[in-house]
Amino acid sequence: MIRNVVLPQLGMGMSSGTIVEWMIAEGGRAVRDQPLVSVETEKVVTEIPSLHDGILHIVAAIGTTLPVDGLIAQFADTEEEYRSLGGSAGSAHPMQAPTSAAAEPPAGVATSSASGRIRVSGLARKIARASGIDLTRVSGSGPGGRIVKRDLSPLLAAADIPLAPPVQFAPRTIVPQIAAAPRSATGIREQARIPVTGMRRTIAERMAKSSGLAPHTYLFFEIDVGKLIAARKTMLAREQEIGTRISMTAIYTRALALACRQVPICNAALIDDEIIVWDEVNVGVAVSLPGRGPYDSGLVVPVVRNADTKGLIQIDRDIRDLVARARARTLSAADMADATVTLSSAERLNAGGWTVGTTLLNLPQVVSFSPGAAVRKPVVAPDGQIVAGDLMPCSVSFDHRALDGEPASRLAKKLTDLLSHPELMLL
């Protein structure tokens, strides 16, 4: 029997994926649940296991991008069935996408002065580079002796290195000599040209779709966070006792999750002709990624699941883990799947005054919350006295197709209550 293998949908909103690596060679025998293929989906690389036993015939070559449910491979039970697919059993290497003779070496091949070319997957190479592992000491278990992620585990464990350490990228120059850069048609000299590919392409496509499809509406408001700032100072003074340095991002995440629980229409998605209100509150937290050079920074949105049921300590630990793995480029598709609402803090964008963002929605979500940096300014106290206050500018973006101003205003009011009276987050 011949069975087709299609590209699965690994997360809400995923529409396509790119084949990064085949773990089993063309014509090789696969065992159910054995790692089969690595696929780049949007901003992460995910390893997909085999769903069948059988002889593998690869349809989608490495480097191929195809839509969800597109055919990537076939399994045959017998060699006769495999030959009917046009394969030759016993082939030692997976298919490769055609390349020109002048092309650079594939991303998955490293070069060592000691031993020449080393076959290594892109993900394994990133982990090795971040951890300082000499790949000449590693034996590969992938197709054709290729070094894959699992081959690094013994060395990481022996050195007590986590699998996803933070990466510090060395800066590189996109255009080494500005004077040698080409001029545009108007005679203006170019400094750099940056291809819109990979993560930047995903961001561009999603933002264009969000802006063009959803009628965005914004609420702007200020919250006096003086009590919150004082409470956090107390938390920081007890950092050793608490076991973590509670971040403002963790506090915002907790507040947004509780507010969405109280205004459930904001914890929803608009899919086709239905508004789906979710039972779980999963907060996507926007994380900026430093680039390898001055032009190639990025953005990912990993998810804190069931944030309304977790305390600040657990939320803070979850966020720190997600941020570390995001910046090490080792997030999985599951880490960024199923967010029901998004937090996009503009706190670090403070330009010295009132600064807040108007975030685009992460469709099909219907709400996004953007807190800014608190500004010290005079306010009128309840008794009429003018006193110093810590006012934080905020914005709520919402999809007017799914909800109106009244529930969005209730969400803003709940956020104001929680962040101006942080003791309410203990209830």
- Per-residue pLDDT tens listing for the chain (427 residues): 888 999 887 765 567 888 988 988 899 998 888 889 888 876 677 788 888 889 999 999 988 888 888 999 999 999 888 988 876 544 444 444 433 333 333 444 444 434 455 777 766 776 777 677 878 778 887 766 778 777 877 776 655 444 443 333 333 333 333 344 566 566 788 887 777 766 777 777 778 888 888 889 999 999 999 999 999 999 999 999 999 999 999 999 999 999 999 999 999 999 988 999 999 999 999 998 877 677 777 788 999 999 999 999 999 999 999 998 888 878 887 888 899 999 998 776 665 666 777 888 988 999 999 999 888 889 888 888 999 999 999 999 999 999 999 999 999 999 999 999 999 988 7
Which pLDDT score, from 0 to 100, does residue 401 have?
93
Contact status, residue 155 vs residue 317, Cβ threshold 8 Å: no
257: its two tokens: 């999750």
Of 220, 157, 214, 257, nearest to 357 by C-alpha is 220
| CA 303 to the chain's CA centroid | 9
Q: Indicate left, alpha or beta for 41 from its phi (over 0: left) and psi (-120 to 50: alpha).
A: beta
Domain 199-426 architecture:
2-Layer Sandwich (3.30)
Which pLDDT score, from 0 to 100, does residue 405 have?
93
Which pLDDT score, from 0 to 100, does residue 294 have?
77
The domain locations on the chain are 2-84, 109-158, 199-426
Distance CA 268, CA 333 (A): 21
Distance CA 139, CA 322 (A): 30
For the domain covering 2-84, report its CATH number. 2.40.50.100
Which pLDDT score, from 0 to 100, does residue 141 have?
77
Give the list of residues 6+ apart from residue 17 with CB closer than 8 angstroms, or none.
7, 10, 39, 40, 41, 65, 66, 68
Cis peptide before 264 (omega within 30 of 0): no
SS3 per-residue string spanning the chain = CEEEEECCCCCCCCCEEEEEEECCCCCCEECCCCEEEEEEECCEEEEEECCCCEEEEECCCECCEEECCCEEEEEECCHHHHHHCCCCCCCCCCCECCCCCCCCCCCCEEEECCCEEEEECHHHHHHHHHHCCCHHHCCCCCHHHCECHHHHHHHHHHCCCCCCCCCCCCCCCCCCCHHHCCECCCCCECCCCCCCCHHHHHHHHHHHHHHHHCCEEEEEEEEECHHHHHHHHHHHHCHHHHCCCCCHHHHHHHHHHHHHHHCHHHCEEEECCEEEECCCCCEEECEEECCCCCCCCEEECCEECCHHHCCHHHHHHHHHHHHHHHHCCCCCHHHHCCCCEEECCCHHHCCCCCCCCCCCCCCCECEEEEECCCEEEEEECCCCCEEEEEEEEEEEEEECCCCCHHHHHHHHHHHHHHHHCHHHHHC
Distance CA 399, CA 364 (A): 9
Question: Sheet containing 65-67: which strands, arranged edge to edge?
Answer: 44-49, 35-41, 16-22, 65-67
**pTM score of the predicted model:** 0.64
For the domain covering 109-158, report its CATH number. 4.10.320.10
Q: What sign results for the dihedral spanned by CA atoms 204, 287, 337, 47?
A: positive
Contact status, residue 300 vs residue 287, Cβ threshold 8 Å: yes
283: amino acid identity, one letter: V
Which pLDDT score, from 0 to 100, does residue 358 have?
81
| CA 323 to the chain's CA centroid | 9
